[in-house]
Amino acid sequence: MSVLIIEAFYGGSHKQLVDLLQEDLENCVLYTLPAKKWHWRARTSALYFSQNIPMSEHYRILFASSVLNLTELVALRSDLGKLKKILYFHENQLVYPVKKCKERDFQYGYNQILSCLVADVVVFNSVFNMESFLTNIGKFMKLIPDHRPKDLESIIRPKCQVIYFPLRFPDVSRFMPKHKTRHLQKMLNLQGDGSAASTVSLPFQREQGSSENLLKSFDAEPGPCDVAQEENLGSSFMQESYLKTCNLSKNSSSPHGEKEPNPHDSPRGGDAQLRPLHIVWPHRWEHDKDPESFFKVLMHLKDLRLNFHVSVLGETFTDVPDIFSESKKALGSSVLHWGYLPSRDDYFHVLCMADVVVSTAKHEFFGVAMLEAVYCGCYPLCPKDLVYPEIFPAEYLYSTPEQLSKRLQNFCKRPDIVRKHLYKGEMTPFSWAALHGKFRSLLTTEPREDL
């Protein structure tokens, strides 16, 4: 067990990553804490792990996400401080949105900076994540009233690199409707060997210039406290698939997810334009995903008497914004599914049957759910901000809620346009097949003489 993997928040994308690593690496051991009460995990997990990870002379590498206060851990466990220490950033606290500036807890961002200083390698899941963190260190540290540390960005930057979050794309062929056949054929290639694809820049990145140009606007930003072929839908395959979506397994009827009865659930055959547009929103039910903007756009579509279906997926935590219960009632029969789907099969089934996936996020450093939906043949609509320009071509980006509303209005009127569309972006650079070699290289090292 030469690799010690620590995950203080073992859920969502954090869980997906370390599970992949543990499965792929022969000599590793994993220690975790449940994905609950994130703030307390960030504050106290180092002490817990220091007491519960047994000492071993076999450890050579320590891999942890940035939720862990790595500085505290290595101070408490000097044996772990000698290892090659790799810190992986799923998100960073320097630009994490808060409702009010005074609510920002300085300690979380400060802990991440300290962890970078003691780490040997710092890995980010996107260029946006890395640059937004590094270029905001100076502004963030100005919150200290006096005797501020200096030159932290120049100390940390040489340790940093980007390795995209790796997605293991499942076989969803049994869920795909017939009109997504061409898309499915393209996606099946992702399950093979992606070899050199992980180092290739994306077409729209090349058009927009280098990562420095892509993110040069950070210097001007305020600091933390500054104010496809169309098919006949009457086929038995399509009807069977769509009916399955509307009648998922009993697991999806659990308290986590509720299936809403709808008189329009099954298609009546004929042209693709007859079946209402199916919009999916597969994000955490928290304020940083800006559900208010999403539901405001949907209510505008209803006011215009446009026909659509919506599935609102994603995990919920202790505090669920009131907008969800209010919107569920207001949307009424337009709701196809409401709530978290614990079954991955049921989750991917809904994505396969949807037409458009929407993000209204005010915070996103990668966006696993959006890429999973695109893999399942959904047309993505994302803000022209955050990480999205790094991942998606320009035609899938919108600048204002009004632009999002206009795009959805057009799709509601002509859903066949979306169903004929073949995604123009790249998916290979984000696949586990393409990235597993980089992670294996990262997690191997020659034994150190001082161990």
CA 76, CA 226: separation in Å to the nearest integer? Answer: 36
- The predicted model gives 58-75 an average pLDDT of 97
For the cut 80, the answer to whether the pLDDT of residue 341 exceeds it is yes
pLDDT given at position 207: 42
What pLDDT was estimated at residue 187?
83
Does the pLDDT value for residue 381 go beyond 50? yes
Compare 98 and 127 and report the one with higher pLDDT: 127
Could you report the per-residue pLDDT of 163-211, keeping only the tens digit for each? 999 999 999 999 999 999 889 888 877 665 444 333 334 434 434 443 4
Contact 148, 141 (CB under 8 A): yes
Alpha-carbon distance of 214 to 21, in angstroms, equals 30
pLDDT of 103 reads: 52
Question: What's the chain's average pLDDT?
Answer: 84
pLDDT for 374 equals: 97
Query: Quick one: pLDDT at residue 44?
Result: 97
Q: Which residues pair with 338 in a beta bridge?
A: 258, 312
Q: What percent of the chain has pLDDT over 90?
A: 70
**pLDDT in the model for residue 257:** 55
Helices and strands in the chain: count of H runs, count of E runs? 20, 13
367 and 359 in contact (C-beta within 8 Å)?
yes
- Is a pLDDT exceeding 50 seen at residue 240? no
Q: Could you give the 3-state DSSP secondary structure of residue 287?
A: helix
- The kind and range of the H/E element at 313 are strand 308-313
- Alpha-helical regions (H) of 103-217: 106-118, 127-134, 137-141, 152-156, 181-188, 203-208, 211-214
CA 406, CA 411: separation in Å to the nearest integer?
9
Say which residues have a Cβ less than 8 Å from residue 335's Cβ, sequence separation at least 6.
260, 262, 309, 310, 311, 312, 328
Structure confidence at residue 185 (pLDDT) = 86
Rg (CA), the chain: 23
Predicted confidence band of residue 118 (pLDDT cuts 50, 70, 90): very high
pLDDT at 64 over 80: yes
pLDDT in tens, 285-316: 999 999 999 999 999 999 999 999 999 998 88
Confidence band for 234, pLDDT divided at 50, 70 and 90: very low
Helix 12-24 crosses helix 368-375 at what angle (to 10 degrees)? 70
SS3 (DSSP) at 32:
strand
Per-residue pLDDT tens digits for 80-108:
999 999 999 999 999 977 665 555 689 99
- pLDDT score at 271: 53
Query: Which residues neighbour 231 within 8 Å (Cβ) at sequence distance 6 or greater?
Result: 178, 179, 181, 238, 272
pLDDT at 446: 55
Structure confidence by residue, pLDDT tens digits, 425-449: 999 999 999 999 999 999 986 544 4
- In this predicted model, which residue has the larger pLDDT, 2 or 263? 2
The model's pLDDT over 135-164, given as tens digits with 9 standing for 90+, comes to 999 999 999 999 999 999 999 999 999 999
Average of per-residue pLDDT across 114-134 = 98
Bridge partners, 3 (sequence order): 28, 61
Of 28-37, 276-285, 436-445, the range with the lowest mean pLDDT is 436-445
